[in-house]
Amino acid sequence: MRLKPQHAIVAAVLVAATSSVISASAAPTSLKGLPCAIPGLSTTYKGYTYTCITVKATKTTKKKTVYNAGVKVAPPTTTTTKPSAPALPTNNFDTNPGTPIWQENFAGAAGTTPNTSIWTPVTGYGTYGTGEIENNTNAAANLSEDGNGNLQIIAQCVATGTPGCTASSQPMGQTWTSARIWTENNVYFQYGQLEARIWMPTGSFNWPAFWMMGKNFNSGQTNTGWPYCGELDIAEGLQGNKQDQATIHSNIPGSATDWAQGSGLTQVAPITGTQMTSGWHTYGVLWLPNSITFTLDGKAWARVSYDPKTTDITQTVGTQSATYGPGTAIGSIGGDWPFNQPFFIILNDAIGGVSSPIAPNGSSATMRINWVKYYKYQGQGTISGNVTPGVNVNN
């Protein structure tokens, strides 16, 4: 306790009184009931904090000042210092990565739908729980291969009247169209090196993403679905499509609430929105049991790892690391780690939710995916479903 200057003399009297009491009593085990000098002030003795109180006079006793029964002092908090997180690797993982287990080159004719044995269009609107407003379709105007080895996901504002695309609040499913595809029920991936070469769309109304969810997403079992199944956002255009983020989501143990009350654990990539939307970039993960490392153009820039003994999560971005989990500053991250199971891929460009769907009528933007490749990494990497490992998919 820090004492103000005017209390210094009071403290001195207290110390003197306490010392005399202890000396005269031959070191008692407790100060309870012993006389003291200054009502209201406290002293600590043998693990207890005693406060000087005034006891009113009774018919048989006089008014007096004595120490109360005391309160046991809590033991000091011990902090266990974990060893520093290992540094991120500095090599370029796109240099001689080896032979892909599987790859998708989107080599179909212009206007064709991507291979339906691998990719399923997810159509409709209002079913994602994210606040996005687009109507996802499988029409060629929103989803098609371009004949030059690219998949196109095209977001379009279809409003023609006023206020149209400039409205700050737009009706769901009526103003914008776009597309979403996934490999659920077709192809699943577990561990390994997974990458996609993407040219992100231009415009703050876009919310493009290359991401994954756990195989048990639609299992119908208790405590599955989102966020129990886990979500792995490998690349996501956020903050008005001005930055790339990578996020992992799971449930806070014992609840259906996402980590950090809905935010998950996010890493901001070392790339600006302008860089993202002005050319091709390769976004990927190096995925191992209890560890996910994010890569950009072949170089590791962030990692999240799980300690099954403590259930903590350690996040490393560049040279900075932090640990989260029960008993840490952010205890609502960690505890569960659903990322040691097969996951499926999702590619989409949403409108709304976290984007700003305000644009001139007729606005459109195109998200292009040149390829998706999957390799083993440190001996890990398994693909299952409608594929034969080692056979490339070229449509």
Read out DSSP for 59-123?
SSS--EEEE-S-EEPPPPPP-PPPPPPPPPP-SBTTSS----SEEE---PPTTPPP-TTT-EE--
Q: Are residues 250 and 200 in the same domain?
A: yes
Q: Which one-letter DSSP state was computed for residue 255?
A: S
| Contact partners, residue 315, CB within 8 Å, separation at least 6 | 265, 267, 302, 303, 304, 321, 322, 323, 324
Count of domains for the chain: 2
Q: Are residues 366 and 265 in the same domain?
A: yes
Q: What is the CATH number of the domain that holds 123?
A: 2.60.120.200
202-259 residue pLDDT tens:
999 999 999 999 999 988 887 889 999 999 999 999 999 999 999 999 999 889 999 9
Find where tokens 């597309």 sit. 179
Task: List residues bridging with 288 in a β-sheet.
Answer: 291
- Domain of residue 40 covers 5-72
- What percentage of the chain exceeds 70 in pLDDT? 89
381 occurs within a structural domain: yes
Q: Region 305-311: what's the mean pLDDT?
A: 95
| Contact partners, residue 10, CB within 8 Å, separation at least 6 | 3, 38, 41
Q: Are residues 55 and 197 in the same domain?
A: no
81 occurs within a structural domain: no
120-156 residue pLDDT tens:
999 999 988 899 999 999 999 999 999 999 999 999 9
Q: Region 321-349: what's the mean pLDDT?
A: 93
Q: Region 290-303: what's the mean pLDDT?
A: 98
Q: Give the 3-state secondary structure of residue 52.
A: strand
17 falls in which pLDDT band (50, 70, 90)?
Answer: very low
Q: Are residues 15 and 133 in the same domain?
A: no
Q: Which one-letter DSSP state was computed for residue 226?
A: T
94-119 residue pLDDT tens:
998 889 999 999 999 999 999 999 99
Q: Region 33-59: what's the mean pLDDT?
A: 78
Q: Are residues 130 and 216 in the same domain?
A: yes
d(CA 149, CA 152): 10
